[in-house]
Structure 1
């Protein structure tokens, strides 16, 4: 699983044998016992509160540097991208856009102009518009977002070495496999709905989002299938 030591920030590839997770909360990761001990006084204050993180409320996604709990609650209050590292924000923006383009093509028969779906070399034109639209939504983007950061995000999206790029298409199963989270496609779709105002299939996802929020908080939620089965 991609990630970094919560203390010294060493990456997974730098640690022989890989990073180890806190046995109690399953969120914090460490490269050594020394690093775990170094921050235990601080971590223990929140560790008990996140003990249930391996349940519905807190699936830990692969290939993101930092875990942010309760994503559907954050989607509802427009803070989904907040408190995340820059590269995580870039990845989620790109993959949210890619999921939307694929949904528009698959479910609406919409072949976006100047995109990989009409034979263009990339979908950067549409992605640029997506980012500009996102910037018009109050609070949706992190407070550090600027026009320069948008350009940087576009440049990141054009690098084929990055899994998250606008030169290749992505489908639901690709997203699940990459992030290791069966609910990540739903998160990305709901975020793109926040940007564009409505789902590609012209449905209001508010009811579904509220149901997922209830499940994050350990309440009800039976029969949550519609978007997860698409």
Structure 2
């Protein structure tokens, strides 16, 4: 029996498309177990996958002795999710698509676009935690995966205000909200579109990455 017969062929969990060298599959960025060929397939399968995803992600959290590592991973994920949510906001609210992102069909999986965002974060004083290093940045890039939507952020963090906090953090980095709008105007538009309500208050953005 050949080695190829001993190796299980990976297939997209949604459409069952077989992985190939020209069309690699990507793991779900949260649980690392489900694999998909595209963001559309991930979205299609999300309703069925989300419960399994949550339990798998919790099982992968590790022991209490790894609490510092887990906290650092959460902080890195907030930086990552700020970028991913901004991509989805730009597309949803204004139709803007960044050519070097996963929305623009970037051949590198959107890594170049995220690196560009990270450089802007790193130029802002006191936004990143003290332990942040170039190696941590590369580790964060490896977990880029797919874009996220507002409901993904709420469910992942268990906090209805987290999307707003990530959006405001993104404005601190980029200088504007989604679509080039300032935060106050864009926040009202987002709340109107999403049917939400609330009041944006002053946030300590460096503290966002410590919580």
- What TM-score, normalized to structure 2? 0.54
For 1:1-230, what aligned pairs fall within 5 Å after superposition? 2=58, 9=64, 85-121=71-107, 122-155=109-142, 157=143, 166-205=144-183, 227-229=190-192, 230=194
Aligned length: 134
Deviation readout 1:105-149 (Å, 9 max, x if unpaired): 111211111222122352211111111100000111111222222
Deviation readout 1:79-127 (Å, 9 max, x if unpaired): xxxxx92101111011110000111111121111122212235221111
Partner Cα distance (1:185, 1:134) in 2: 18
Partner Cα distance (1:143, 1:85) in 2: 13
Task: Tell whether the 8 Å contact from 2:101 to 2:114 is kept in structure 1 after alignment.
Answer: no
Q: 1:126 to 1:185 in 2, by over 3 A?
A: same
Note the aligned Cα RMSD (angstroms): 3.2
Q: Secondary structure of 2:156's partner? A: helix
Which of the two has greater helix per residue?
Answer: 2
Task: Tell whether the 8 Å contact from 2:102 to 2:147 is kept in structure 1 after alignment.
Answer: yes
Partner Cα distance (2:184, 2:124) in 1: 17
Q: What 5-or-longer segments of structure 1 have no aligned partner?
A: 12-64, 67-83, 158-165, 209-223
Q: What 5-or-longer segments of structure 2 have no aligned partner?
A: 1-53, 195-211
Task: Tell whether the 8 Å contact from 1:104 to 1:110 is kept in structure 2 after alignment.
Answer: yes
